[in-house]
Structure 1
Amino acid sequence: MKSLYLALSLLVCAHASAGPQTWITNVKLVSPEKLDRIESGSVLIEDQRIIRVERGAAKAPKGALTVDGKGGYLTPGLIDSHVHLLAVPGMSFEQADHMKAMAAEYFTQMPRSFLYYGYTTVIDLAAGSREFIDMVKASPLHPDVYDCGAPLVFANGYPSSYAPPETRFTTFSNFIYDPAQADKIPSRFKPEDYTPAKGVARVKADGAICVKTHFEHGFGNQRNLPVMSPAVYAEVRAAASKDGLVLVTHGNSFEAQTFAVNGGVDVLAHGMWHWGALNKSPQVPDEIKLLLDRIAERRIGYQPTMQVLYGLRAYVDPDYLNNPALPKLLPKSMLAWLKTPEGNWFKQEVTEDDTDEAARQGMEEPLRRQRQVVAYLAKKDANFVFGTDTPSSPTYGNIPGLNGYLEMRNLHLAGMSLAQIFKAATINNARTFKLDADLGTIEAGKVANLVLMKTSPLADIAAYDSVQTVWIRGKQTARENLAAR
């Protein structure tokens, strides 16, 4: 009898402590695990979580706030699993530091811009500043933020090679010591402190969910950068498995993706636009098909990141900065500055003094190869995980929120179906990054990150620009309230 009284008292206490409820009704439920059941229904939210999902007619619970979805399409919140929150599109880090007021305005709006397009969760793959990540999480309206901690870089390799030698090992402090480069590493850094296992342990201790590595020989005026060996990568793989971290590897070439797949990668952080000696092949070569088959069969997470190249091409697209979405996503002063000669500083690096038309044509071949790889993997129903690399470089062609919408459009044009894109941005991302206990579907027990769209994402890619309302952990916000002020 005592146990019965205890159970009843706990139930009463639980009910008394429950927060207000929200009943979202008159919506069509679009959840990736039930794409065969797109039907009218309702969702009940309490204490930031979904506690009930009803398909068909159902009465609103007594006392719940009722939200009439007016026949719209309710989906799980979208996930962008490849962002860089600390970077300002169109600015170098030095410019952002010099124009502090403008950068601060951008950072205030940036989380809202992701939400504007329904991205309720983002994963920062190179969170170099825990203080900054915490600042984003403390902003009034923001997506849920997860990260890979500080990137685990190979000594003097990409991307640390872009930092001056005198500051490189403090800017990129989570590096792997290479004995072959002992004369190029300051003596205060001891080899035993910078092993793969120690680097992964630092990421784990920082509260990350993944560890980011690189296989990149370089580009531009850096084309012979050191990369880790298979043996070193195997140590990273073992340490990541031991610490329960998802292993993500940057690699956009046939060589890099072969290396990572052979080493047991979990997520490939880019599409394959460099085929090396096979670049001139008009179709996907058999050697590459064999690798792509392995990627599909092993369910390796694949982020095509097509907006990396399209984001660079924005500098030779005269209409890009006139996109009507931009005033809703960027502070007025910043958008005006980007249209000035000073704000176009990065164009010279993109075009390398070529004409706009020559630069456009030069990007077409890598894009052609990238599209062909996406189309091949789409036919194999590979494990696409949606990520944008926002921003991929100091380009203004990667604006938060809009960059995701443009990525989706380009993926669809490349051959991904609407269902594949929807799954990539919801359930695939959640499962691959081990967040599916909370995210990715509309189910009881999941976090109440939800998006109400006017049209179905399974009917038209433009649905992702028809967002009407966003719920973040049960908190409702109309899209128009997320626009830049």
Structure 2
Amino acid sequence: MKITALLASLFICAPALAGQTWITNVKLVSPEKLERIETGSVLIQDEHIVRVERNARAASPKGATRIDGKGYYLTPGLIDSHVHLFAVPGMSFEQADHMQEMAKAYFAQMPRSYLYYGYTTVIDLAAGSREFIDRVKAMPLHPDIYDCGAPLVFANGYPSSYAPPEHRFEVFSNFIYDPAQADKIPARYKPEDYTPAKGVARVKADGAVCVKTHYEHGFGNQRNLPVMSPAIYGEVRAAATKAGLTLVTHGNSFEAQTFAVNGGVDVLAHGMWHWGALNNASELPDEIKQLLDKIVDRNIGYQPTMQVLYGLRAYVDPEYLNTPALARLLPPAMLAWLKTPEGNWFKEEVAEEDQTDEAVRQGMEAPLRRQRQVVAYLASRNANFLFGTDTPSSPTYGNIPGLNGYLEMQNLRNAGLSLEQIFKAATINNARAFHVEKDVGTIEPGKLANLVLMKESPLKDVRAYDTVDTVWVRGRPTARASLAVTE
């Protein structure tokens, strides 16, 4: 008997089983039944939901632990499908290694910060360290974690280009060999071992649910990076399909997203804020609309990741580090350090020399406008939005776990997404896109008991996502207040 059928059969019996929890007096908000926001109850047995009652008068099973939901709103646990767990916001890898105690304190809090805002599932799109992810999974409190394994990068392309050449192929060991660059690839790496098929096979063997690729010519001082050809991408697509993996591609430009869409991508990992030769257009060009129509028609998952740009803009926002939520999500010593000149080191990467804060803000307005226009058009066509934050997108302190998601939801709302679109993007859409819908994404018997109790309805106001009361991960409840940083 399948586990779903087995669990569903359990609630036919009247007596409660040992370890059952009855969450009652809650308004059920589940994305597959948004037309039925009714007062009801949920029965949990160990890690799973075994019964859902949309009936305010349903009797509590005998022997079950009863939790009164106070008339609040019970939703599935939220899913952030674009995180990078191994990075410390505001710190380079060298700084994190030098300030190990501070980094250690951050990592101890990091999974709790995701839970603080209701993210009970996260997907790491570039799992640089299996050992590290396993350590996070061993922590007493953490979201469920899925990942794309080691990113499948093109030799000497983005993002491997940011690692020193002498260590590049060790740090980004799952790469695609490019014969045209044979003189730039150490001789110990053999072409036959670094084909698209071999790279995807390594990801599959690592237990991943997706494979991450990139189409990025670069930015800043690196603008002519090598990228894979359509033929190579086609080999990746075929291998990912055979392995049953979701194909995710980084690309924030019109050129990159055109390439990925034409190549059969499943998920676009960013919004489009670079329009290339069309950058100066004030209205959304027809050429871009035609591409966006293909994205909608083919049901391609779309992660706007608006907080990438807003996270950079935090360095020219004098009030950002005084945001009250940061004191609940960051260790005190780390927050204090970020407010020092040393802690603001990354601002030099955001602003050009002698550029004023106002000039930086003005310079970001055009890409933000372009991004909002793309998102608004996709929202008008009810695209397959996937909620992902790219936390942290770079060594910026503007991408703090948990809070980054809440800010992203506000950005999406302001860009034109409905509250229903946001809710589905963070639940059922993500679950389906990464093939984990049998476990998460809705409130149904057989699913994992990953749940969030909010004081307000996420279908009435985006601020509801900051009214979390209790979070359940695999049936284990945790009060939000206990997830905040303690001195």
Q: TM-score, normalised by structure 2?
A: 0.96
1-structure distance, mates of 2:455, 2:285: 42
Question: Is the Cα contact below 8 Å between 2:82 and 2:389 reproduced in 1?
Answer: yes
* CA apart distance, 1:19: 4.3
Equivalent residue number for residue 178 of structure 2: 178
Secondary structure of residue in 1 paired with 2:43: strand
Distance in 1, Cα, partners of 2:301 & 2:148: 15
Give the C-alpha shift of residue 16 in structure 1: 11
Deviations 1:183-242 (A, max 9, x none): 000000000000000000000000000000000000000000000000000000000000
Shift of 1:49: 0.4
The residue aligned with 2:103 is 103
**In 1, Cα distance between equivalents of 2:399 and 2:165:** 28
Q: Does 1:29 align with 2:28?
A: yes
Determine helix, strand or coil for the equivalent of 1:22.
Answer: strand
Partner residue, 2:74? 74
Q: Deviations over 1:21-68 (max 9, x none)?
A: 000000000000111100100000002100000001200000000000
1: distance between equivalents of 2:477 and 2:239? 40
Kindly, what percent of the aligned residue pairs are identical?
80
Contact 2:16 2:61 in 1 (8 A): no
Alpha-carbon shift at residue 17 of structure 1 (Å) = 12
Correspondences of 1:325-336 after superposition (within 5 Å): 325-336=325-336
Mark the CA change 1:165 to 1:69 in structure 2 (over 3 Å): closer, same or farther.
same
Is the 2:301–2:433 contact (alpha carbons within 8 Å) kept by the matching residues of 1?
Answer: yes
Contact 2:210 2:245 in 1 (8 A): yes
2:426 match: secondary structure: helix
Q: How far, CA to CA, are the matches of 1:75 and 1:158 in structure 2?
A: 38
Residues 1:421 and 2:459 are matched in the alignment: no
Distance 1:297 1:444 in 2: 32
Q: Which runs of 4+ in 1 moved over 2 A?
A: 14-19
Q: Distance in 2 between matches of 1:142 and 1:15?
A: 33
Following the alignment from structure 2 to structure 1, what is the Cα–Cα distance between the partners of residues 24 and 284? Answer: 47
Which amino acid letter does the alignment assign opposite residue 39 of structure 2?
Answer: S
Counterpart mapping for 1:139-178 below 5 A: 139-178=139-178
CA RMSD of aligned residues (A): 1.5
What is the CA deviation profile of residues 255-280 of structure 1, one whole-angstrom value per residue up to 9, with x for unaligned ones?
00000000000000000000000001
Output aligned runs, 1:277-426, within 5 Å. 277-353=277-353, 354-426=355-427
Question: What is the correspondence of 1:193-204 to structure 2 with a 5 Å cutoff?
Answer: 193-204=193-204
Q: Which residue of 1 aligns with 2:45?
A: 46
- Deviation (angstroms), 1:296: 0.5
1:128 counterpart residue number: 128
Q: One-letter code of the match for 1:336?
A: A
- Structure 1 length as normaliser, TM-score? 0.97
What CA deviation, in whole Å up to 9, does each residue of 1:334-373 have, x standing for no partner? 0000000000000011012211000001111000000000
SS at match of 1:282: coil
CA shift in 2, pair 1:201/1:17, >3 Å: farther
1:472 aligned residue: 473
CA contact (8 A) 1:311 1:397 kept: yes
Query: What is the distance in 2 between the residues matched to 1:231 and 1:466?
Result: 48
* Cα separation, partners in 2 of 1:15 and 1:244, compared to 1, 3 Å: farther
For 1:416-443, what per-residue CA distance to the aligned partner results, in whole angstroms no more than 9, with x for missing partners?
A: 0000000000000001110100110000
SS at match of 1:43: strand
SS at match of 1:85: coil
Unaligned runs of 5+ in 1: 1-6
The amino acid that maps onto 2:64 is A
Is residue 17–residue 64 contact of structure 2 (8 Å, CA) maintained in 1?
no
Code of the aligned partner of 1:294? K
Q: Does the 8 Å CA contact 1:18/1:47 hold for their aligned counterparts?
A: no
Deviation at 1:15, TM superposition (A): 11
Q: Which position in structure 2 is the counterpart of 1:3?
A: none
- Please give the alpha-carbon distance, in whole angstroms, between the structure 2 residues aligned to 1:137 and 1:192: 35
Q: Which amino acid aligns with 1:481?
A: S
Secondary structure of residue in 1 paired with 2:427: helix
Q: Secondary structure at the match of 1:26?
A: strand
Instruction: Tell me, yes or no, if the aligned pair for 2:15 and 2:63 is still in contact at 8 Å.
Output: no
Q: Size of the alignment, in residue pairs? A: 475
Mark the CA change 1:19 to 1:218 in structure 2 (over 3 Å): closer, same or farther.
farther
- Is the CA contact (8 Å cut-off) linking 1:451 and 1:467 kept in structure 2? yes
- Report if the CA contact (8 A) 2:21-2:67 is conserved: yes
User: Which residue number corresponds to residue 91 of structure 1?
Assistant: 91
3-state SS in 1 of match to 2:349: helix
* Residues 77 and 426 in structure 1, CA contact (< 8 A), matched pair in contact too: yes
Instruction: Give the letter for the 1:438 counterpart.
Output: D
CA distance in 2, matches of 1:176, 1:17: 55
Please tell me the residue identity of whatever aligns with 2:27: K
Distance 2:385 2:162 in 1: 30
Q: How does 1:443-458 map to 2 (within 5 A)?
A: 443-458=444-459
Name the amino acid aligned to 2:266: D
Distance 1:49 1:345 in 2: 46
* Aligned counterpart, 1:257: 257
- Provide the residue aligned with 1:55 in structure 2: 54
Question: Quick one: distance in 1 between partners of 2:141 and 2:449?
Answer: 15
How far apart are the structure 1 equivalents of 2:100 and 2:324?
26
Contact 2:292 2:378 in 1 (8 A): yes
The SS at the match of 1:470 is strand
**Residue ranges of structure 2 left out of the alignment (5+ in a row):** 1-5
SS state of the match for residue 469, structure 1? strand
